[in-house]
Amino acid sequence: MALTGMQIYKLLPKTNCKDCGFPTCMAFAMQVAAKQKAITDCPHLSEEAKAQLSEASAPPMKLVKIGPENNAFEIGQETVMFRHEEKFHRPCGIAARIGADLSDEDALKKVERANNSVFERVGETLSVKLIAVELDGCSNPVDRAKKCAEKSKLPIILISEDEKVISEAANSLKDLKPLIYRANTKNIDAFADIATKNSLPLAIFADSLEEMADLSDKAKNKGVSDIILSFEGKSIGDTLRKLTIARRAALKKTFRPLGFPTIVKIDEDTPEKETVVGSIFAAKYAGIIIIDSLEPWVLLPIMTTIQNVYTDPQVPNTVEAKLYEIGNPDENSPVMFTTNFSLTYFSVEAEVERSKIPAYISVVDTEGLGVLNAYAGDKISAEKVVKTLKEQKVAGKVKHRKLIIPGLLPVFRAEIEDTSEWKEVIIGPENAREIPAFLNKIWKK
């Protein structure tokens, strides 16, 4: 929470020496509170005041990194309860659970599958972000952890409640900065010592939020700076309630013991339930979810939820307004236009690719609005389309003068034909998924 000018003033030397460039300490404090000056511009701050100010000005939720510096997964430092208030900053990461019940061979196959669980959606790459290795129950837990780490570049989570196992695995993989998952009320002292000794992040778990806060303080007092709160309620609703209360306590009350990012291990008996429950916690408010199934139909709904929740609601998702060549179009290829809303563009692009007919797509700048919204909001007109086609020099690319327009804008047809060189305007489908059949029907290769 931001400090007031008076709170900052109380920590200043109050000598009015002017070395900061301001006539008084109070004037300087007001500038710092208004974020116009850094507190470090006062050269006479005591170490004690510096420590207090850094604690007080720390973000309400800590940023935690898992993995080595050049390849770390970052979570935390969220600032709002609701996306529309600003935006959510660090997308929830999916961790693939590598069960202790798997043979070494199957475990490594699953790691490989997690590595390759990469998808493209509306111009973004979606992927599994972490490998969560269960150690308790493995015949050689440290060897299992090392083999999984060697097989993947993804950051590692070490799952065990056994102090000896965690100590050896953490020591062996400390350069990879794995997350220790997880300390509880019984082993907190030992686990905190291991995390501190190896400079590793530590997940903590307790049945109640009060105990969680106590554990967090204990870990912090033992020198653990990177803490992740692990949640697992009696039911989905109970877990969701705890996640919400913890986030509110951190962001609204600056309650430091709960001012950390979160992790939820999904424990459902079917992949279908895993998808639903994973999506729920990814939306609210898990920083990491650990799941078992890596089927694309399990991963994609969760990834899509994450992608949607973590886009900035105040910035339209756009693609550059220019002429795109899909496949290797030539002078006989079809020409069409669409808007620069990325979901619209990528839907059209994917369907044109699926048609196997190379084509030109002219993208009109509609300030990130889809076809109908752009039309309703006066962001697209026949005149603007003609102007865009001219600017993109589309006519020079093809011999014909046929233009396919979105089926939702049939009213543009007459005006484009009357006012431009595009004398044969063809009304395309209303829905992008109909493009392949439409193109194959009307366009002779």
Q: Which residues contact ligand SF4 (rule: CB under 6 A)?
A: 12-13, 15-20, 22, 25, 28, 42, 44
Instruction: Give the nearer residue to ligand SF4 in terms of CB position, either 9 or 324.
Output: 9
Instruction: Give the nearer residue to ligand SF4 in terms of CB position, either 34 or 442.
Output: 34
Which residues have CB under 8 Å from 89's CB, separation 6+?
Answer: 77, 78, 79, 310
CB of 46 to ligand SF4, least distance (A): 11
CB of 47 to ligand SF4, least distance (A): 15
Instruction: Give the nearer residue to ligand SF4 in terms of CB position, either 13 or 316.
Output: 13
Instruction: Give the nearer residue to ligand SF4 in terms of CB position, either 14 or 197.
Output: 14
DSSP H or E run through 110 = helix 104-115
In contact, 62 and 287? CB cutoff 8 Å = no
CB of 36 to ligand SF4, least distance (A): 13
Residue 440 tokens, joined: 């194959």
Instruction: Give the nearer residue to ligand SF4 in terms of CB position, either 28 or 341.
Output: 28
Instruction: Give the nearer residue to ligand SF4 in terms of CB position, either 5 or 358.
Output: 5
CB of 52 to ligand SF4, least distance (A): 15
SS (H, E, C) the chain: CCCCHHHHHHHCCCCCCCCCCCCCHHHHHHHHHCCCCCHHHCCCCCHHHHHHHHHHCCCCCCEEEECCHHHCEEEECCCCCCHHHCCCCCCCEEEEEECCCCCHHHHHHHHHHHHCCEEEECCEEEECCEEEEECCCCCCHHHHHHHHHHHCCCCEEEECCCHHHHHHHHHHHHHHCCEEEEECCCCHHHHHHHHHHHCCCEEEECCCHHHHHHHHHHHHHCCCCCEEEEECCCCHHHHHHHHHHHHHHHHHHCCHHHCCCEEEECCCCCHHHHHHHHHHHHHCCCCEEEECCCCHHHHHHHHHHHHHHCCCCCCCCECCCCEEEECCCCCCCCEEEEECEHHHHHHHHHHHHHHCCCEEEEEECCCCCCHHHHHHCCCCCHHHHHHHHHHCCHHHHCCCCEEEECCCCCCHHHHHHHHCCCCEEEECCCCHHHHHHHHHHHCCC
CB of 34 to ligand SF4, least distance (A): 15
CB of 19 to ligand SF4, least distance (A): 4
Instruction: Give the nearer residue to ligand SF4 in terms of CB position, either 25 or 380.
Output: 25
Query: What gap in Å lies between CA 231 and CA 212, rounded to an integer?
Result: 9
Instruction: Give the nearer residue to ligand SF4 in terms of CB position, either 15 or 270.
Output: 15
In contact, 427 and 407? CB cutoff 8 Å = yes
Instruction: Give the nearer residue to ligand SF4 in terms of CB position, either 29 or 289.
Output: 29
CB of 59 to ligand SF4, least distance (A): 24
CB of 57 to ligand SF4, least distance (A): 16
CB of 44 to ligand SF4, least distance (A): 5
Instruction: Give the nearer residue to ligand SF4 in terms of CB position, either 49 or 309.
Output: 49
